[in-house]
Amino acid sequence: MGIVLGIESSCDETAAALVTTDRRIVAQRIASQDAEHAPFGGVVPEIAARAHADRLAPMVEAVMREGGLELHELDAIAATAGPGLIGGVMVGLVTAKALAMAGEVPLIAVNHLEGHALSPRLADPSLAFPYALLLVSGGHCQILRVEGLGRYRRLATTIDDALGEAFDKTAKILGLGFPGGPAVERLAREGDPRAVPLPRPLVGSGEPHFSFAGLKSAVLRARESGRYRDADIAASFQQAALDCVVDRLALALDAMEPVPALVVAGGVAANRAIRGALEELAEGRGLRFVAPPPALCTDNAAMIAWAGCERIGQSDPLDIAARPRWPLDPGAEPVRGAGYKA
Ligand code: KG4
Ligand code: ZN
């Protein structure tokens, strides 16, 4: 059995965790920076980097103490090396490099998206490759065929906003604060999902890509019209987003080589309505449905430590660079209309 220290600092969560190769989360700490970013309605990169720099070292100290371990007893130190806000990524990666040197243990530079993509395997030991993955977070919205460690085929991405971003913008329009996803989900429970006519961008189109910018603009117009209750807008938005996801995913599943399981990961995977709809889609196609517990869906260090566990035996050089962009499938065709997106 091996044990890996994981470090996450790519966005607005500072986190450290110890995870074993037999899937035990021995210790973990996570600090959200919601309060610091809330006044700005979104993550401010400079504030995030400074907060990571202040908090990370004591968190690492705390998990090591709780695990009763010295640095040299670790099998590896895994840190997010991208994609993400570069200042924050550098804080985590440089910390991991220093710890790896001090403990004379291998450094593993983890792709944050791979952390999300493999997190369902931490939660569910029986989940084997290959599987279809819907990866939905604040920065990413992709459908992938996960074929093995480091082998990802991207079938779809967003041509504008990510799904989490659409939730966050809807929350902002409704004055629900930041981060918006959980607040929109809560309010949606009190609303009628059919009350507000909203578009389903790209539904029915021949390629399984996503687009949410038009939906967000329609939410804004609905709010400004003054004709609808906020709860009805939230519920109708969530329903429209969910219809898009199910339609796009169904198309992607048709297009990919068959897989036995449908998996969802990333922050938006914490959304119960979306989990329910995906479960139904999977059931209808005779696929297993796997979704990690919500705490493993939003950014955390256990998933980074787990990606390190999956890669145990490998090591990266101490001069490896932090990467603001790092696509899981570098060979994926660029999508017309999309800027360069990881
Ligand atoms: O994976 P994550 O923690 O960070 C990124 O890598 O982006 O995802 C954060 C995103 C945010 O946009 C947040 O609003 C969304 O996930 N989110 C949710 C829910 N919980 C988090 N969206 C909808 N419903 C939720 N319950
Ligand atoms: Zn993430």
Domains of the chain in start order, with CATH, are 3-117+296-310 (3.30.420.40), 129-291 (3.30.420.40)
Examine the pLDDT at 181 and tell me if it is beyond 90: yes
Mean pLDDT score across all residues of the chain: 96
What pLDDT score was predicted for residue 333?
Answer: 80
Examine the pLDDT at 178 and tell me if it is beyond 90: no
What pLDDT score was predicted for residue 271?
Answer: 97
Task: Give the single-character DSSP code of 99.
Answer: H
The residue among 244, 72, 102 whose CA lies nearest residue 159 is 244
What pLDDT score was predicted for residue 177?
Answer: 83
Q: Is 201 in the pocket of ligand 1 (CB under 6 A)?
A: no
What pLDDT digit, counting tens, does each position of 57-81 carry?
A: 999 999 999 999 999 999 999 999 9
Choosing from 12, 268, 303, 326 the residue with most ligand 1 atoms within 8 A of its CB, the one to mutate for a pocket test is 268
**Atom 19 (ligand 1) nearest CA:** 181
What pLDDT digit, counting tens, does each position of 282-311 carry?
A: 999 999 999 999 999 999 999 999 999 999
Q: Is 167 in the pocket of ligand 1 (CB under 6 A)?
A: yes
Q: Is 137 in the pocket of ligand 1 (CB under 6 A)?
A: yes
What separation in angstroms does the CA of 6 have from each of 30, 100, 146, 323? 11, 12, 22, 17
The residue among 86, 316, 336, 69 whose CA lies nearest residue 207 is 336
Q: Could you count the other beta carbons within 10 Å of the beta carbon of residue 115? A: 29
Q: Is 160 in the pocket of ligand 1 (CB under 6 A)?
A: no
Q: Is 342 in the pocket of ligand 1 (CB under 6 A)?
A: no
Cα(319) to centroid(ligand 1), Å: 32
- Please give the model's pTM, rounded to 2 decimal places: 0.95
Q: Where are the beta strands (DSSP E) in the chain?
A: 3-8, 13-20, 25-32, 76-82, 107-111, 131-136, 141-148, 151-156, 261-265, 288-290
Q: Is 131 in the pocket of ligand 1 (CB under 6 A)?
A: no
- Per-residue confidence at 179, pLDDT binned at 50, 70, 90? confident
Examine the pLDDT at 22 and tell me if it is beyond 90: yes
Atom number in ligand 1 closest to CA 12: 4
Cα(196) to centroid(ligand 2), Å: 30
What pLDDT score was predicted for residue 38?
Answer: 84
Residue pair 75/4 in contact by the 8 Å Cβ criterion: yes
Three-class secondary structure of residue 78 per DSSP: strand
